[in-house]
Structure 1
Amino acid sequence: MSISTSPAQRALAQQIAQGGESYIRQYSIPVVDAAQRGDPRASSAAVTLDGKKRVDALRSLFDRYTTAEGFAVSAREGSADADARQATIAASVGIGASVLFIVIYSGYVTRVIVWPVRRAAQLATRLAEGDLTARMPRTGAREIGQLESAFNTMAGSLENSLQQAQEANRRLRLLYDAGMAVGTALDVQQTAQELVGVAVPRFADFATVDLATSVLHGGEPAQADTAPLRRVARQGIRDDAPLDPVGSLIQPALSVPQGRRSDDTGAIFVQDLTASATWRAGNPQEADRLLDYGMDSLMTVPLVAQGVLMGTVTFWRAGQSKPFEKEDLADAEELAAKAAVAIDNARRYTRERETALTLQHNLLPQQLPQQPAVEIAYRYRPTGTRVGVGGDWLDVIPLSGTRVALVVGDVVGHGIHASATMGRLRTAVRTLADVELPPDELLTHLDDLVIHLPGLDEAAGGELGATCLYVVYDPISLRCALASAGHPLPFLITPDGAVEAVSGRTGPPLGVGGLPFETAELELAAGSVLALFTDGLLHTPERDVGQALDRLRRTLAAPADSLEAACDGVMETMLTGPQTDDVALMLVRTRALSSDQVVTWDIPADPAYVSRARTLAGEQLEAWELTESSFVTELVVSELVTNAIRYGSPPIRLRLIRDATLICEVSDGSNTAPHMRRARIFDEGGRGLLLVAQLTQRWGTRHSTAGKTIWCEQTLPTTEQGH
């Protein structure tokens, strides 16, 4: 200060000196002391910033002093050079010492504070990126060491949480997959196999499902604890496990060992089989085989749905697998609960399907009757899908005069209601056929019946109606009359092998009402084949109806050794994929009665000709070697011809037909139908039809556009039947 050229310079120099002393006393010495005590504020950013500000202030004062003094000293440079150098050196040494101290202290702060903080930041980044195995090395003490311990504890906690979350996710995923994979089909055995397929190997090394035998057939399981179970599913990580195979009968006492029971479900949990003396005592030989194989833990869970015990599912772990824990029992119970609901649904569906099939089987003809007019082969195959059996049916109805009616129909809908409705319609068709109605009139009456049929709307799930094809074939005239109510028309295979679709008009389905049906007539050569079928034969996912009809036409054109072989060929060719509906197929080969089996006479409308009619009938029976039937036949002819002459109108015809039975028919031009009544003692008439009914097997009346025909049938003598 003594060399300053002015009072201002001396004051500035005094400020510099005071600032340096203040920096050392108020900042440097306290910071060093605090760092030695381990005070974290010594290494704080605020303290470091404060030191930097003090040094910058000293530099600023010194720069101002040297700049101003330089101008003054330049004039006196020669005389005061030595003093100026000493002052400059002294100031530089002090500042250098301060800067050196700051550098040393900054290095200490970096090593002790900054580097650990950076490692903590890097650890936090790795944890955030998902590397929960990262840890900080223990290099610090006091607060830094506590920071490192806190970070390591946090990382360990996050790793444990992740493991728990992964385990929970694994269990949830297992239950979710079970919900998606178990119960995809309404089949008990398939559902059980789906359950063990989900459990192995994700949950257990081996799994088995044992069910009550009645459950497999849709029935209620027996309540007795000793009832045997049937093994329906088994799966494992290896195939050589000493577990009973599928199909074996399992005693519950063997498959359900006495272990620890869950209070809620009755499940059995044996964590360590080697330590379970009770389990080994149940069947020592089987227990030894299982233990020798390496089985060391099991859980058996009952399959219960709506309070009904249907069976059990058993999970095993073996070898190096971790034994079951208590938490695994909750998963096993959840798996069993999901599977039990699916198995119960499949059981109920099986019961309903079996009921519908039984009903349908009883309502359908058990065996189609042999007919002299036709040769018949047929196939019926119910659908195998979960929608249930449908209402398809076929029938062959013998009519008078050796004629035969062929019927194929389909009720809309599936299940028991469709089968029941089918039975009602089949009975109605047979009843109307006995009345000898033409095909179009029969379908008209059937249509009215369907409209007023109670419960058909419920049976069809909101859809009304059915379809039906009714065909009548006469082996004497070789004519065929048919009418369709919404049903596909048949194919005709001529004797030379040509296949053509029968032309005709398809009427509306039954149940629509208000629209007429039309009868189509065909003349068939003997040996022709009619192919009648339901639409289930045509509806497949791979082909549309047009393609299916073309395929059916080509299949029918293929040569076959018999009608049975032709039926098999059609079913194999047409049903190549999953069957979505019932299928009915009937192949009918026509026959013709020879001329020596049928005799017809025109009868004049003269009572005197009745005796002549008896004589003609007797002579014909003698030619047929049926003299044993002459008395009854002549009496029947006398009564029927007399009634036709008295109550009918010309033309009158008498016809005798010899086939499996002896048939007598009298036709006239009147539409008045005779009625059998009980005659009183003094009545002169009324006994003719009663006499006919008593002497013959059956009798009836059929109407046509030309009038009516009264017919009756007699059983042939035993010797003739032997021929």
Structure 2
Amino acid sequence: MHGFSSGSEEQVFAFAGIATAVLDGRGAVVRCSDAAAELLGRTAAEVRGRPITALLAEGCRSAEHHFGLPASGRAKLRHRAGGSVEVAFRVLQTEAASESLVLVAPTQRVTDWEQGASVLRALLSQDRVGIGMHDVDLTLLWTNISSEMFDGVTLSPGSRLTDVLTQADAAVVEAALRHVLETGEPLICQNLHLWLPRDRERPLAVSLSAFRVEDIHGAPSGVVTMVTDTPEQQRARQRRSVLHDAADRIGRSLDVRRSAQDLLDVLIPDFADMGWVELAEAVLNGDEPPRILGGGELHLRRAAMASPYGPDAALLQLGEPVPRLPFTVELGEVQSGRPVLLEPEKVSLVLGDSAHQRLFLPEGGHSGVWAPLFARGLILGSVTVWRTEQPNPFEPDDADLMGEVASRAALNVDNARRYTRERRVALTLQQRLLPSATTDTAAAKTAGVYLPAGGGAGIGGDWYDVISLPSFRVALVAGDVVGHGLNAAAAMGSLRTAVRTLADLEFDPSELLSHLDDLVQQLSDGTDAESLIGATCLYAVYDPVSRLCTVAGAGHPPPVVIGPEGTTEVLRLSPGPPLGVGGMPFEATTVELAPGSLVALYTNGLIERGDGDVDAGLRRLSESLAASYDPDCPLNETGRALLAGFEDTPPRDDVALLLARIRAVPEQSVAHWEFAADPAAVAEARQAVTRQLTAWDLDEAAFATELIVSELITNAVRYAGGPVGLRLIREDALVCEVTDPSNTQPRLRRARLTDEGGRGLFLVAQLSSRWGSRYGQTGKTIWAEQPLIPNTVDLAALI
């Protein structure tokens, strides 16, 4: 037939030794091959017509049957000489349903085939053993070598060695393979350094073995090659792997200790069995390390340790200071920025004391490397690794590799150190800019909580503030500057200072935000990206006498209020634009708050999560406030409970939270009168004040208060007209307020000796602890505050 070549049965490995027989539907032998008859010691004519079961010496070991016979299995056939022949067989269904084909082979031969196939599969599955089959012309017929082996070398059927090696190296290898073909002598583990045309910098170090393949007649039909790594190549590959891991894993963190641990994770367990990193105490705090040369106190602490075999309690532990060390040549090398090899005997000799030795010598450690963390001319610390289980000692090129990896890690440690310093400065700045965490006034008791983004990894421009205003009023503020770092913290400081200054002028919340918006536009000069400031703010003023709270917002989330009975309400405000936009007005909303209400001001980091649903965040906050509401619970504990959800997942943005428990001034502590613009009103006012102070048991404050009231009402009657309002408020201080319809700003001046007037406000300022004025929709109010323990004032000296 065309397309087929002739040859003996023995030449075809897959069919050698296989006997066949055809059975009818009853299992009788219809015909069989000569090999099948020879297994039984009979002729084919003697076998034909006999049932297959009559030829069996024992039953078949199989559970599946086909045409009354097992489909496959093992059996013993009766030999004509009286013995038995153990065989393996398989029954196949032919196209004629009444006939079956039985394949039979001696069990030992089948076992040999199976074991050979298993060995071949195991060999071919090794990713560091390359196998190739070449014909007599050394053309590649088959290989398992892939691009992942041997530095990317790839071979394909039909190629030759000249396709991947230089002409000179290919000629050397082919000459060795031809010698194997011609002589039959195997080539065993010949070390070669082969140069690849695409890589002229370093050779490929491999070990080559080769064996001749022969046909059934003993003629050479090809050669099989086996290529493995040499120890040199394995070390080179390990070094490249360490450098690759260092490039991939070192530098992912800006935490000093985490950076030290990343360095050890690269080196252990592939390069060494255990190790540790020691950093200068100054580096751990974010500062530059001192320049120390020689032995003695090195001011180092153990910052990281790693071992796959568990901790060694005898070694210096994490956080512990490194004890004094004597000066040695090795220490001098490390302090000069060079890695050194360590021998346990020499280390023991230098350290002397056995207890001291166990701090630095791990059990079983036979070879070590000590390398400095050297960056910008500074020794930030050092890294030490030991081999305890790996038998090969470190070599000089291992120390060089260690130095290269440590140098890369030192840069990252230095970056983390500088980040730690900047973060510490920003955090200190922000903490200094934030007010006291808790305040306690007649208007409200407050507590503030601040949580940096990422659990402390970033410092931003979120802030809160509590500002005491005259007449026992209080201003509650929450703000958020866009961005993080020193720029955001500094911008936050500027805005907080501006808010306090504007609050002292007692502007209405909407007017205050308008002035703050102008300031942000001035600060954002637009010359560069860093000068641009984006911010939001919420400003609320609460009056404990009227129990009214006036709130205005600039792009800020609204406050949440819990009433004394536990009901939760989100104050819906007229939204205003963020600060710095300009051209849009801010509107104030006034609500009445019941004493005992809890008001929460916050920044958007508290309600914005990954889903970006602000309304859902407001609902979560309201539900959390309602669940944690307890009138007897300290506000700082309530604040910590609200932020407890960030313990496992730190917020992506800063969170500032201000809680205020509202109070009210009792009605019996407030007295109010109104007078006409008549000089006689001065005497009436003095008499009313005297009676009220007597009723409050404040007779000792009557004299000073009468003088204050006389001067303020006299000025109102003389310069502003009527009606003139007078109000006294008693709390931890005594406040006197005089209201008139004029918008003229009162000014304090020192009168000359010849002046007949001009001393009124000067007397008011001397008799009170503080005074001032504020404007309403119509007119102004001048107020003066006195401590309830009166000051001793020399009136003669004032006059």
Deviations 1:85-144 (Å, cap 9, x if unpaired)?
A: xxxxxxxxxxxxxxxxxxxxxxxxxxxxxxxxx998499859965599xxxxxxxx9x96
Q: Per the alignment, in what secondary structure is the counterpart of residue 566 of structure 1?
A: helix
Q: Per the alignment, in what secondary structure is the counterpart of residue 406 of structure 2?
A: helix
Give, as a single letter, the amino acid of the residue that structure 1 aligns with 2:301: R
Higher mean C-alpha displacement, 375-384 vs 486-495 = 375-384
- Asked if the contact 1:186–1:386 (Cα under 8 Å) also holds between the matched residues in 2, the reply is no
**Distance in 1 between residues matched to 2:137 and 2:322, nearest whole Å:** 62
Deviations 1:53-91 (Å, cap 9, x if unpaired)?
A: xxxxxxxxxxxxxxxxxxxxxxxxxxxxxxxxxxxxxxx
Partner of residue 338, structure 1: 408
**Distance in 1 between residues matched to 2:558 and 2:425, nearest whole Å:** 31
Partner of residue 512, structure 1: 581
Post-superposition offset of 1:665: 0.4
Partner of residue 349, structure 1: 419
Q: Compared with structure 1, are the counterparts of its residues 697 and 326 closer, same or farther at alpha carbon in structure 2 (3 Å cutoff)?
A: same
Q: Per the alignment, in what secondary structure is the counterpart of residue 334 of structure 1?
A: helix
**Distance in 2 between residues matched to 1:263 and 1:472, nearest whole Å:** 62
**Distance in 2 between residues matched to 1:599 and 1:428, nearest whole Å:** 34
- Asked if the contact 1:127–1:155 (Cα under 8 Å) also holds between the matched residues in 2, the reply is no
Q: In angstroms, what is the RMSD of aligned CA positions?
A: 3.1
**Distance in 2 between residues matched to 1:524 and 1:287, nearest whole Å:** 69
Partner of residue 487, structure 2: 417
> 279, 292, 296: which one pairs with 1:211?
279
**Distance in 1 between residues matched to 2:622 and 2:307, nearest whole Å:** 50
> 495, 507, 514: which one pairs with 2:564?
495
Q: Per the alignment, in what secondary structure is the counterpart of residue 643 of structure 2?
A: helix
Deviations 1:445-498 (Å, cap 9, x if unpaired)?
A: 11111111267986x746532111100011111111111011111012122211
Post-superposition offset of 1:566: 2.6
For residues 367-378 of structure 1, the aligned pairs below 5 Å read 367-378=437-448
Give, as a single letter, the amino acid of the residue that structure 1 aligns with 2:187: N
**Distance in 2 between residues matched to 1:144 and 1:417, nearest whole Å:** 76
- Asked if the contact 1:120–1:148 (Cα under 8 Å) also holds between the matched residues in 2, the reply is no
**Distance in 2 between residues matched to 1:182 and 1:302, nearest whole Å:** 16
Higher mean C-alpha displacement, 488-497 vs 207-216 = 488-497
- The unaligned stretches of length 5 or more in structure 1 are 1-117, 133-140
> 159, 164, 173: which one pairs with 2:207?
159
Post-superposition offset of 1:374: 1.2
For residues 290-309 of structure 1, the aligned pairs below 5 Å read 293-309=363-379
Say whether 1:650 aligns with 2:717: no
Say whether 1:530 aligns with 2:594: no
Post-superposition offset of 1:254: 6.5
Post-superposition offset of 1:234: 1.0
**Distance in 2 between residues matched to 1:263 and 1:219, nearest whole Å:** 19
**Distance in 2 between residues matched to 1:393 and 1:291, nearest whole Å:** 51
Q: Per the alignment, in what secondary structure is the counterpart of residue 245 of structure 1?
A: coil
Higher relative contact order (CA 8 A, sep 6+): 1
> 694, 700, 706: which one pairs with 1:622?
694
Post-superposition offset of 1:427: 1.1
Partner of residue 68, structure 1: none
**Distance in 2 between residues matched to 1:260 and 1:678, nearest whole Å:** 75
- Asked if the contact 2:670–2:727 (Cα under 8 Å) also holds between the matched residues in 1, the reply is yes
Q: Compared with structure 1, are the counterparts of its residues 237 and 529 closer, same or farther at alpha carbon in structure 2 (3 Å cutoff)?
A: closer
**Distance in 1 between residues matched to 2:327 and 2:616, nearest whole Å:** 55
- Asked if the contact 2:624–2:642 (Cα under 8 Å) also holds between the matched residues in 1, the reply is yes
- Asked if the contact 2:679–2:717 (Cα under 8 Å) also holds between the matched residues in 1, the reply is yes
**Distance in 2 between residues matched to 1:707 and 1:465, nearest whole Å:** 36
TM-score (norm 1): 0.76
Q: Per the alignment, in what secondary structure is the counterpart of residue 401 of structure 1?
A: coil
Return the structure number with greater helix share: 1
For residues 218-367 of structure 1, the aligned pairs below 5 Å read 218-225=286-293, 226-239=297-310, 241=312, 242-251=314-323, 253=325, 258=330, 261=333, 265-270=337-342, 272-274=343-345, 276=346, 280-285=349-354, 289=358, 293-367=363-437
For residues 88-103 of structure 1, the aligned pairs below 5 Å read none
**Distance in 2 between residues matched to 1:144 and 1:212, nearest whole Å:** 63
Partner of residue 253, structure 2: 185
- Asked if the contact 1:387–1:415 (Cα under 8 Å) also holds between the matched residues in 2, the reply is no
For residues 542-621 of structure 1, the aligned pairs below 5 Å read 544-558=613-627, 559-560=629-630, 561-562=632-633, 563-573=635-645, 577-621=649-693
For residues 30-41 of structure 1, the aligned pairs below 5 Å read none
Say whether 1:665 aligns with 2:732: no
Q: Per the alignment, in what secondary structure is the counterpart of residue 440 of structure 2?
A: coil
Say whether 1:708 aligns with 2:780: yes
Give, as a single letter, the amino acid of the residue that structure 2 aligns with 1:465: G
**Distance in 1 between residues matched to 2:234 and 2:362, nearest whole Å:** 34
Q: Compared with structure 1, are the counterparts of its residues 395 and 524 closer, same or farther at alpha carbon in structure 2 (3 Å cutoff)?
A: same
**Distance in 2 between residues matched to 1:121 and 1:174, nearest whole Å:** 42
Q: Compared with structure 1, are the counterparts of its residues 150 and 347 closer, same or farther at alpha carbon in structure 2 (3 Å cutoff)?
A: farther
Return the structure number with greater strand share: 2
Post-superposition offset of 1:707: 1.0
Partner of residue 756, structure 2: 684
Higher mean C-alpha displacement, 392-401 vs 565-574 = 565-574
**Distance in 2 between residues matched to 1:479 and 1:257, nearest whole Å:** 78
What is the aligned-residue identity percentage? 44
Higher mean C-alpha displacement, 158-167 vs 310-319 = 158-167
- Asked if the contact 1:664–1:713 (Cα under 8 Å) also holds between the matched residues in 2, the reply is yes
Larger radius of gyration: 1
Q: Per the alignment, in what secondary structure is the counterpart of residue 507 of structure 1?
A: coil
Q: Compared with structure 1, are the counterparts of its residues 574 and 557 closer, same or farther at alpha carbon in structure 2 (3 Å cutoff)?
A: farther
- Asked if the contact 1:676–1:689 (Cα under 8 Å) also holds between the matched residues in 2, the reply is yes
Q: Per the alignment, in what secondary structure is the counterpart of residue 596 of structure 2?
A: coil
**Distance in 1 between residues matched to 2:286 and 2:747, nearest whole Å:** 52
- Asked if the contact 1:257–1:268 (Cα under 8 Å) also holds between the matched residues in 2, the reply is no
What is the number of residues matched between the two proteins?
590
- Asked if the contact 1:256–1:268 (Cα under 8 Å) also holds between the matched residues in 2, the reply is no
Q: Compared with structure 1, are the counterparts of its residues 375 and 679 closer, same or farther at alpha carbon in structure 2 (3 Å cutoff)?
A: same
TM-score (norm 2): 0.69
- Asked if the contact 2:348–2:357 (Cα under 8 Å) also holds between the matched residues in 1, the reply is no
**Distance in 2 between residues matched to 1:718 and 1:490, nearest whole Å:** 39
